[in-house]
Amino acid sequence: MKPAIRVAIGATPEVTRLVAMRGAREVLRARLGPPSQVHRWAAPLLLESLALWYQQPVRVVLSAESEAISSGLQLSDGFGFGCRTLHYDVAWGRSRGAELQDGPAAFRALRRRCRP
């Protein structure tokens, strides 16, 4: 059985950080632009691409400073629920603050979110 692909996303008004792990191995780390300046299909297509690349659904945990920021990524509805498609399933993660700050600590916190 293939290890699951898990993605953790931390979004603030200034930056969107993303870590993808396959089992215990990190396969992608990205520091992207703010959600307010992203095309509405960018995040969903990125997650679909990962699912197609690894030929399995992706499990996503989304942490954001507010629901307005997460809605900008088009990964949640306006009620705080994550989107679910054939390729990915998004869960709303309570922000602990570390993944929303700057520096290497943010990526460490996101990697912890990818644990099963």
| Domains of the chain with bracketed CATH | 5-113 (3.30.420.40)
**Res 96: pLDDT:** 64
Q: Which one, of 91, 72, 77, 20, lies nearest residue 49 by Cα? A: 20
Amino acid at 35: P
Contact at 8 Å (CB) between 61 and 21? no
Q: Give the pTM.
A: 0.88
| pLDDT per residue of the chain (116 residues) written in tens, 0 to 9 | 688 899 999 988 889 999 999 999 999 999 999 988 989 999 999 999 999 999 999 999 998 877 777 778 888 877 778 889 999 999 987 666 655 667 778 888 898 888 77
**Res 93: pLDDT:** 78
